[in-house]
Amino acid sequence: MTAQELRLHTLRRLHELAEANGYHYLFSLDEIAAEVKVDDRLKVQSLGQDLEADGLVTLSATQGGTKAAIKMRGVQALEEALSNPRSKTVSTKAAQDVNGSLDSLLHPIIREHAYPQYLDGHWRDAVLNAFIAVFDLIRNRTGLDLDGDALVTRAFSLQRPMLMLSDLRTESGRNDQAGFLQIYQGVYKGIRNPKVHGLQHDLTDTKAAQYLVFASLLARRVEEATLAEPEPGV
């Protein structure tokens, strides 16, 4: 791993840890570096000093090693690096490596309709487009001219399903169908609708990426679902 790639990895992990534990907590740079098999303490100390000199982290030397907390300037630098391949914060290769890993996890419709917005740093638009694409896929597969709860309730109904996610003759299959019906309903109410009706959001690059991967799972389940035979007379 190059110094620039380690720099990107460190900022990403500090950001993730800060989101989970609070931005005032200090985290071990040695442990973060060890995650990618970098055990050279001098290299880690040099990395911490460079990040502190750039105003990206707060640094503290302890008996257990160097600890750091990411600053808001560090968060902004990380977001710039991931959305702008020409950013000088980290190497172009490192940013491409991270985005390339995400790209491999995305369903084709998410990659087409949401990933470009994600790469441009438009996270709200990326997440909104991802879930709109999922509901469009449900409509395309079923031919239904419905939306939201009405759409998914009809498409994944246990009594008269149009899309079958599992073998509904078994209890586990019915549980799978019922569980994902509730997930699609929750996505519409808890993710898709709020993103449509409000410009304010708390998205970061990490959160947006996680939403895109989640949307990809939902799209795959729709794509792989069995289309039920039309009812007689329909």
Domains of the chain, by residue range, sit at 3-94, 105-227
pLDDT at 150 over 90: yes
What pLDDT, on a 0 to 100 scale, did the predictor assign at position 21?
Answer: 82
| C-beta of residue 69 within 8 angstroms of C-beta of residue 57 | yes
Q: How far apart are CA 29 and CA 16, in angstroms?
A: 13
State the average pLDDT over residues 146-169. 95
Mean pLDDT value of segment 206-223: 93
Nearest to 107 by CA among 180, 213, 187, 207: 213
Residues whose CB falls within 8 Å of the CB of residue 120, separated by 6 or more in sequence, listed in order: 83
Q: How far apart are CA 118 and CA 34, in angstroms?
A: 29
Pick the CATH number of 3-94 from 3.40.50.2300, 1.10.1840.10, 1.10.10.10, 3.90.600.10: 1.10.10.10
51: closest CA among 101, 86, 15, 16? Answer: 15
Q: Which value, to the nearest 10 degrees, does the dihedral of the CA atoms of residues 37, 69, 54, 203 take?
A: 90
What confidence score (pLDDT) does residue 96 get?
A: 44
